[in-house]
């Protein structure tokens, strides 16, 4: 930071920092909601018309997609949650580029599970999310599109 930084520059930097932190919070809420079965929190991570695509690196023919809250609800309801299954969706290394009320975000994920044969801490899947976020009229950042690229299963 130089001595020439204006109040407007500082205000812009603080606003961008706040946006980035809010986007990160949405990334982390997604995993928490999915792991612990909070459907409302999960759906609030997405715009009502969100599109979520899952691709598999090893078997590209086994991908799938969800369009809008109704299909995302079906995905959520069909997914395992605690206490029926204990796993953790871990999101890390977010790269966030904010442009007004939209943002492009890339991050890595891993899913850690328990296995009867191998015990706790088995990495079931890993990969990256490529997201487009939008800021809603309520000021919240939500995922508009997500491409989940799974590296292994």
Beta-carbon neighbour count of residue 78 at 10 Å?
7
Decide which of 3.30.70.120, 3.10.450.50, 2.40.160.20, 3.60.15.10 is the CATH code for 7-152. 3.10.450.50
CA distances from 27 to 11, 105, 130 (A): 25, 10, 11
The residues of the chain scoring below 50 in pLDDT are 1
pLDDT of 119: 65
The pLDDT tens digits of the residues spanning 112-137 come to 987 677 666 788 889 999 999 999 99
pLDDT of 57: 83
Q: Which two tokens stand for residue 59?
A: 């078997």
Least Cα distance to 148 among 130, 122, 123 occurs for: 130
Query: What is the pTM for the complete model shown?
Result: 0.90
The pLDDT tens digits of the residues spanning 56-69 come to 887 777 889 999 99
Cβ-count burial 15-24 (b if 16+ within 10 Å, e if not)? eeeebbebbb
In angstroms, the CA 128 to CA 92 distance is 9
CA distances from 127 to 10, 25, 40, 43, 116 (A): 35, 19, 25, 22, 24
pLDDT of 2: 55
Q: Pairing between strand 64-67 and 87-99? A: unpaired
In angstroms, the CA 30 to CA 28 distance is 5
Q: Report helix, strand or coil for 72.
A: helix
In angstroms, the CA 145 to CA 16 distance is 21
């Amino acid at each position: 930071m130089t001595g020439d930084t204006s109040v407007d520059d500082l205000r812009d930097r603080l606003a961008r920092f706040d946006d980035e932190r809010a986007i990160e919070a949405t990334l982390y809420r997604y995993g928490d909601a999915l792991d612990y079965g909070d459907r409302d929190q999960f759906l609030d991570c997405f715009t009502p018309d969100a599109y979520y695509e899952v691709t598999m690196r090893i078997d590209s023919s086994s991908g799938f997609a969800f369009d809008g809250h109704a299909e995302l609800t079906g995905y959520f309801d069909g997914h395992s949650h605690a206490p029926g299954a204990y796993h953790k969706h871990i999101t890390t290394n977010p790269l966030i580029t904010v442009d007004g009320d939209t943002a492009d975000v890339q991050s890595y994920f891993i899913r850690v599970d328990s296995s009867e044969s191998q015990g706790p801490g088995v990495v079931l899947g890993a990969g990256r999310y490529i997201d487009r976020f939008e800021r809603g009229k309520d000021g919240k950042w939500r995922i508009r599109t997500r491409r989940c690229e799974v590296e292994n299963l």
